Structure 1
């Protein structure tokens, strides 16, 4: 489907996991890709990889938690590429720590990247998105509506994304801008290797995940198809359907018996 041919698609956290897969998928669909990431070396290498596959891409070093840096970055994107037709808010971090032991700085840092990062990018791209009647795609998580053990800061940031973008969808409907939230389940990315500990340091003992993982390419394929159809919510999960049903209809049962077994991540 040539829906995104010659469109500018901006992807944050573009060099790893789901972000990388999204860049490849939308690029294969004919889109021009603006890669945003905090890792300059990975940006350069991935930009070369896309070029070798004949995908037009520009790379931008950007810390999405820094509002001024984000604003400058989007000014450059519009100067270089003419517009922002699709914004994919994908950048995110996680932690693995009990609430009682977790320093408040971990909550602030998680919110700065996961929530305020998406907020900053959306504000900076909004004028162009309205002019193009474009799309905003925000990567949330199963933890945006189901509780997980030792993920209180991460889950809070995902709940905040739902509140923000559900409201924004209503405000932008008459302006022609479409908003979609995506909730992946356990996905095989490196996000947990860089998870924060209770004191804010990067973990020295990455969490061992159990169960079957979805691969980033499958998530990207689902997101691409859902974007073509302009869906409002996409749940991409290998979590058993009964677990999802219990989370909604029998939350007490879910909290007691299943929450510690269900994992959700983005990258």
Structure 2
């Protein structure tokens, strides 16, 4: 396989960094986007001097940052084979105690930015018959207490790209939706509280917390096979069935499992 031209958002940490290392080792050309300029520079340096690495500092939580990222991609790459929408943000706060600006930021990073990047790169992706990879979440299928904004954004993300896949099928565009559960990344460490500051309580989880590197390998294998969807954790897939078949039972169990969220006032 010849070297591809790949764009990765949120590339400096967590799953984005795991994907970066794995794809760089395969010989691909990478454009790494992250809002943390210092960490991004350190990551680039750790990979060594290479013409295969380009970086862009951009905050995908605002319109200006999204525009900056697109401009950098177009200036750097004449061709785009893969867009990996990995950057994400979450919150841990009850819906009724969450400021609108927090919800707006979560929606911008988790939905608006992936959509605008995909549409802005669509001509290049059509030309290469390339791929878009989106990091969805189990929270896009089923309710999770204290994550109303995040659930909404991930649900919208899945719906938009499921539609885009169907519409672009004749153009050869491949869309991979990844639906993980809880992964050991910075997204939860950097979770917002309802007031926009850092969340003050630890996250609740269902099942175990997986590591980024094994998930990155699963995503790359799914990309190579041009799969439509990846469900890395079987237990979460079963939980989604419970939500669909017995939603009242699911909500009862969720309120017990995530009771700590109801205690936040």
| TM-score scaled by length of structure 2 | 0.90
1:10 aligns with 2:14: no
Give the 3-state SS of the residue equivalent to 1:179 in structure 2.
strand
Matches within 5 A, 1:124-135: 124-135=120-131
1:230 aligns to what?
Answer: 226
CA contact (8 A) 1:142 1:235 kept: no
**Cα gap change, 1:189 to 1:39, in 2 (>3 Å):** same
**Structure 1 residues 104 and 12, CA, compared in 2 at 3 Å: closer, same or farther?**
same
5+ residue gaps, structure 2: 259-265
Check if 1:195 corresponds to 2:209.
Answer: no
Instruction: Please state how far the C-alpha of 1:158 moved relative to its aligned partner.
Output: 0.3
Q: Secondary structure at the match of 2:192?
A: coil
Change in CA separation of 1:73 and 1:97 when aligned onto 2, cut-off 3 Å: closer
The residue correspondences of 1:87-106 to structure 2 (distance < 5 A) are 87-106=83-102
Of the three residues 180, 183, 186, the one matched with 2:179 is: 183
Aligned to 1:254, the other structure's residue is in SS state: helix
Q: How far apart, CA to CA, are the structure 1 residues paired with 2:257 and 2:215?
A: 21
Does 1:22 find its partner at 2:22?
Answer: no
Report deviation, 1:206.
4.1
Structure 1, unmatched stretches of 5+, are 263-267
The residue that corresponds to 1:35 in the other structure is 32
User: How far apart in 1 are the matches of 2:245 and 2:9?
Assistant: 34
Q: How has the CA–CA distance of structure 1 residues 55 and 217 changed in structure 2, closer, same or farther, with 3 Å as cutoff?
A: farther
CA distance in 1, matches of 2:7, 2:220: 14
**Once structures 1 and 2 are overlaid, which stretch shifts more, 177-186 or 56-65?**
56-65
TM-score, with length taken from structure 1: 0.89
Contact kept, 8 Å, 1:50 with 1:56, in 2: the verdict is no
Q: Matched residue of 1:9: which SS?
A: strand
Equivalent in the alignment of 2:57: 61
Aligned to 2:243: 247
Distance 1:25 1:170 in 2: 29
C-alpha separation in 2, matches of 1:84 and 1:206: 39
Q: After superposition, where does 1:143-154 map in structure 2 within 5 Å? A: 143-154=139-150
Once the two structures are superposed, what CA deviation does each residue of 1:65-121 show, in whole Å capped at 9, x if it has no partner?
334443343333333233111000111100001112111221111101111111121
2:117 paired with 1:113: no
Q: 1:13-43: CA deviations, max 9, x gaps?
A: 1111111111112222221111000010011
Which residue of the partner structure matches residue 262 of structure 2? Answer: none
Between the aligned partners of 1:137 and 1:208, the Cα distance in structure 2 is: 27
Q: Distance in 2 between matches of 1:128 and 1:23?
A: 21
CA distance in structure 1 between the partners assigned to 2:41 and 2:256 by the alignment = 38
CA distance in 1, matches of 2:51, 2:248: 48
Name the CA distance, whole Å, in 2 between partners of 1:165 and 1:70.
18
